[in-house]
Structure 1
């Protein structure tokens, strides 16, 4: 049986000695002798020097009790950001992503993406209610392309992203399209209720 048996159920755990490795691999162990290592003086100075830290473990930032954290970690990091506190439905979706799913699961990241999209939709609605709606046309970049051959630059140019350009307006403006659909449905209901009277 050779030393290279990674595919058997219980491979032998024989670790070769330094002499065997040095004989088999040219240059193996060349940095074992500190006299041959140019970094040894620097490393020894760094080992002797104090780091200047006044703690063994950094003190925990206040407010860690309700913070979201990955289920892989035992506790929240000593310092964390508080600029964007979780609130509303997007915050509940983010808390669910952190409480239920590992960071290695697709569901964790998809829930975070859904929460971001909900956050964007919420802000668009609240901005519109405050009298500062999004500038839908100018934010899509359509106005910037006027006069710069917008169709010719996409068709027949060999661009690899032309397939998804049809979907880009839908992805960027799905909130507005959903709101428009809701207004149309509400108007139809009102019209039907008036006709039935």
Structure 2
């Protein structure tokens, strides 16, 4: 019987062990898989330090204003760059991690990074293909509409909005480029 307001009884460990098969299997530390790492035994682990030595900071890294220094080891695979990097640096330099402004600026930095990446792909030999990346082309070949209907899927409710959200920014960008081209050609 589950705990209810009418029966707020608490069972002892022996009663629970009798009622529920396997209950309390990890009560004995010897049976606990994580027990060896829970006790302090530096001779057994081979660790020769209390804290790893500080990784050198070759380029300035973002750090929270609550912390005096970076953690001993940190990632360097995706350094900040461009306008999105400036937004993220500002978020870390100005606002505490407990403030909504910090996280909203980081979200803005992510969105700006997505736009920067799309613009940068225009100047490469292989620009983004928004039509193929959205999966619209596979809708007809893979029974996209029929797989959604009558199955109780939650995404059917906002399916009408998806083309607007996915194609809308691309259409606005194309309209902007065409307007700028017309204005430039009109001046000549």
The TM-score bracket by the shorter chain reads 0.5 to 0.7
- List, as ranges, runs of 4+ consecutive aligned residues in structure 1 with deviation greater than 6 Å: none
1:121-148 per-residue CA deviation (whole Å, 9 max, x = no partner) reads 2122222112211121111011122144
Correspondence list, 1:19-58, <5 A: 38-39=28-29, 46-50=39-43, 51-58=45-52
2:50 paired with 1:69: no
Deviation at 1:60, TM superposition (A): 0.9
Question: Alignment partner for residue 124 of structure 2, among 111, 130, 133?
Answer: 130
Distance change (3 Å), C-alpha of 1:110 and 1:162: farther
Distance change (3 Å), C-alpha of 1:128 and 1:86: same
Residue 21 of structure 1 corresponds to none
Larger Rg: 1
TM-score under structure 1 normalisation? 0.65
Question: Alignment partner for residue 92 of structure 1, among 80, 86, 89?
Answer: 86
Distance, in Å, in 2 between the alignment partners of 1:94 and 1:174 is 26
Deviation at 1:101, TM superposition (A): 2.4
Q: How many residues align?
A: 161
Distance change (3 Å), C-alpha of 1:156 and 1:94: same
Moved more, 149-158 or 123-132: 149-158
CA RMSD of aligned residues (A): 3.3
Deviation at 1:61, TM superposition (A): 0.6
Q: Is the 8 A contact 1:93 1:115 kept in 2?
A: yes
Residue 17 of structure 1 corresponds to none
Q: Is the 8 A contact 1:140 1:169 kept in 2?
A: no
Unmatched tracts of structure 2, length 5 or more = 1-9, 13-26
Unmatched tracts of structure 1, length 5 or more = 1-24, 28-36
